Amino acid sequence: MAVMLEARALGYGYPGRPVGHGLDLSLGGGEVLCVLGPNGGGKTTLFRTLLGLLRAQAGEVLLAGQALGAMSRGDVARRVGYVPQGHAAQFAFTVREAVLMGRTAHISLFATPGAADLAAADRAIAALGIESLAGRVVTELSGGERQLAMIARALAQGARALVLDEPTASLDFGNQVRVLREIRRLAAEGYAVVFSTHDPGQAFLAASRVLLLARGGAVRQGTPGQVITGENLQAVYGVEVRVAEVDGARVCLPAL
Amino acid sequence: MTQHPRVLAYALALAALLVLTALAFAVGRFPLALGDLAALAANKLFGADYDVSATAETIVMQVRGPRIIAALLVGAALAAAGTAYQGMFRNPLVSPDILGVSAGAALGAVLGIFFSHSVLVIQLGAFAGGLAAVGVVYAVGASVRRHDPILALILAGVVIGTLLGSMIALLKYLADPYNQLPAITFWLLGSLASVAPRDLAIAAPFALAGLVPLYLLRWRMNLLSLADDEARALGVPVGRLRLAVVCAATLMTAAAVAISGIIGWVGLLIPHAARLLIGPEFSRLLPLSMVLGAAFLLAVDTLSRTIAPIEVPPGVLTALIGTPFFLWLFAGARRAWQ
């Protein structure tokens, strides 16, 4: 299994304000990594570093085996797709136009999208089953619909690794489940997926691996069963949590 | 939006532009019949040999022609620059002078009036002042690290613009009230009355030099309307693209301001109207916005020289038309954003 996304002894953060250090990650096709941690725990900072939006403070990030530091923005975009947290749509682009923007790294500087790009955008829209939204404008979509459109845009990038920053934040319960289902399906198709969430139970549902970040840079990594324990969650979130089993599936029950 | 209304929007805008251009040639202190205009056009364009009075020919070729071309050029340039800036700053309240190009051009022109009366010096002063002001604003904005770069640019534009405004006020205070002050006021209100063919020959290449990169980057411009991180993750080196757009829009605005003075509202109003008609996709929006901008300023300039015995400054007319239009847009605020 080829490694799509790798971090070696990665230090991330801002100059003079380190957030995390010594992180080793290796994610192949078909794997889903769920990143958990408290607010301000550095999830978004880590993601920005993995995407090359923030310079690594130490160590390095490798995309499909190549060092990210030496890549152009286009090279990065063709290797890792990004679904931002809460895309703020300000102009009334249609969903098809927005997904088409995912093709940027395949369209030369002065060109406009060609037939191949339009086909790729339509394939990405079809992959998420949102053909009925294609002509709608993004500013009029619900949060869940917009999240699916943003995932379609990331697919249109043609990258085999995907980074989703809190993809279920501010979605209703049904849409949260739909997004998790998409994450599982993408992994089954061979994508390497990283996503962050505030709900540790989602790791049991959708992830093959978990990275638990604590404030101050302490890190635990492993399978959901290894990492998501009452003890670990209490250490990171400061509240009492019990991990229970219901019909063979594990759930997190906070004690109030 | 489907294909059909898009084609319709272009067709209507172009038709309006053609009708307005014919009207602008016809009306004025010396009205010309449309038949004479057609005959003259046939003579000039196709080498026909219709009988047209020499007076009519002089009016068309020397008086109204340059002025009409200037109105079209300035209107299209201001609208194109406004379209680029509104997309780039993700804000519909942005006009081409957001980064201080008008304030810089005004100071340059006022300095030119203050120290000399040569039209060429005044125009060069306006052009150089506009470019210099945006250069300073961009340098200040880029040097303020660790802030939202868009916010840094806009704040730098506001601060430098205010500084330039107070320097203009000082020069007006010091200017000779009988000679220089009317010239300064006239220039600050904007006018196309004294445009000569030579002015067009100088300004047009700069406006074109600004338009070419905007046209080439017309699809990629859409990416600038996303958050910086999103656009970068999609493969766009945002800082470089933004610099290119700032240079292009500034060249166009400075060229326009140098021949017409400061004519407000066009670059604010027209991109809005075009976006309402055809949506935000830049490669479709840019041409429509330019056609509408050209038609709008031509209509305003034609009104300004015909509705009263003296010329009404076009800047006053654009404000009179622009304010109610903008209030109407605000009434439907959600649509206005888009």
Mean pLDDT estimate for chain A: 93
pLDDT band at B1 (very low <50, low <70, confident <90, very high): very low
Residue B337 has pLDDT above 50, yes or no: no
Query: Residue A153 above 60 pLDDT?
Result: yes
Residue B93 has pLDDT above 80, yes or no: no
Which one of A88, A101, A109 has the shortest CB-CB distance to B234? A101
What pTM value is reported for the model? 0.90
Percent of chain A predicted with pLDDT > 90: 84
H/E stretch holding B123 reads: helix B119-143
Instruction: Categorize the per-residue pLDDT at B323 as very low, low, confident or very high, splitting at 50, 70 and 90.
Output: confident
> What band does A1 get if pLDDT is binned at 50, 70 and 90?
low
CA angle A70, B139, B228 (to 5 degrees): 50
Higher pLDDT, B195 or A218: B195
Selected for mutation to probe chain B from A45, A82, A101, A118 (highest B CB count within 10 Å) is A101
Whose tokens are 């993809």? That residue is A167
| Interface contact B223-A88, CB threshold 8 A | no
CB-based contact, B176 to chain A, within 8 Å: no
SS3 for A32?
strand
In this predicted structure, the answer to whether residue B293 has a pLDDT above a threshold of 90 is: yes
Give the structural domain span for B161: 3-337
Mean pLDDT of the B171-178 span: 90
Query: Does residue B333 surpass a pLDDT of 60?
Result: no
- Summarize the confidence of residues B125-130 as an average pLDDT: 90
Q: Is B148 on the interface with A (CB under 8 A)?
A: no
Residue A94, pLDDT above cutoff 50: yes
Residues of chain A contacting B226 with CB distance shorter than 8 Å: 101
Tens of pLDDT, residue by residue over A135-150, are: 999 989 998 999 999 9
Checking if the pLDDT of A217 tops 80, the result is: no
Question: Closest Cα of chain B to A109: distance in Å?
Answer: 7
Number of Cβ within a 10 Å radius of residue B45: 8
Cα of A208 to nearest chain B Cα, Å: 25
Q: In chain A, what residues touch B280 (CB-CB under 8 Å)?
A: 91-93
B132-167 pLDDT, tens per residue? 999 999 999 888 876 788 888 888 999 999 999 999
State whether residue A107 sits within 8 Å of chain B by CB. Answer: yes
Report all structural domains of chain A as residue ranges with CATH numbers, in order of start.
3-254 (3.40.50.300)
What percent of chain B stands above pLDDT 70?
96
CA atoms within 13 A on the CB side of B170: 8
The Cα-based distances of A54 to A50, A60, B128, B152 in angstroms read: 8, 12, 37, 19
**Smallest Cα–Cα separation from B229: which of B137, B148, B139?**
B148
Whether residue B156 lies within 8 A of chain A, CB to CB, comes out as no
Neighbours of B135 (CB within 10 A): 16
Residue A90 pLDDT: 77
Domain count of the fold of chain B? 1
Give the alpha-carbon dihedral of A50, A52, A57, A58, to 10 degrees: 60
The answer to whether A46 touches A54, Cβ cutoff 8 Å, is: no
Question: What confidence category does residue A52 fall into, taking pLDDT thresholds of 50, 70 and 90?
Answer: very high
pLDDT tens string B42-65: 888 888 888 888 888 899 988 899
Task: Please state the length of chain A.
Answer: 256
pLDDT of B141 reads: 87
pLDDT band of B7, cuts 50, 70, 90: confident
pLDDT(A61) > 70:
yes
Sorted by sequence, the CB contacts under 8 Å of residue B154 that are 6+ apart come out as B89, B98
CA distances from A48 to A31, A76, B151, B233 (A): 20, 12, 21, 9
CATH number at residue B148: 1.10.3470.10
Q: Which residues, in sequence order, are CB contacts of A226 under 8 Å at separation 6+?
A: A210
pLDDT value for A241: 93
Of B332, B317, B298, B320, which is closest to residue B66 (Cα–Cα)?
A: B298
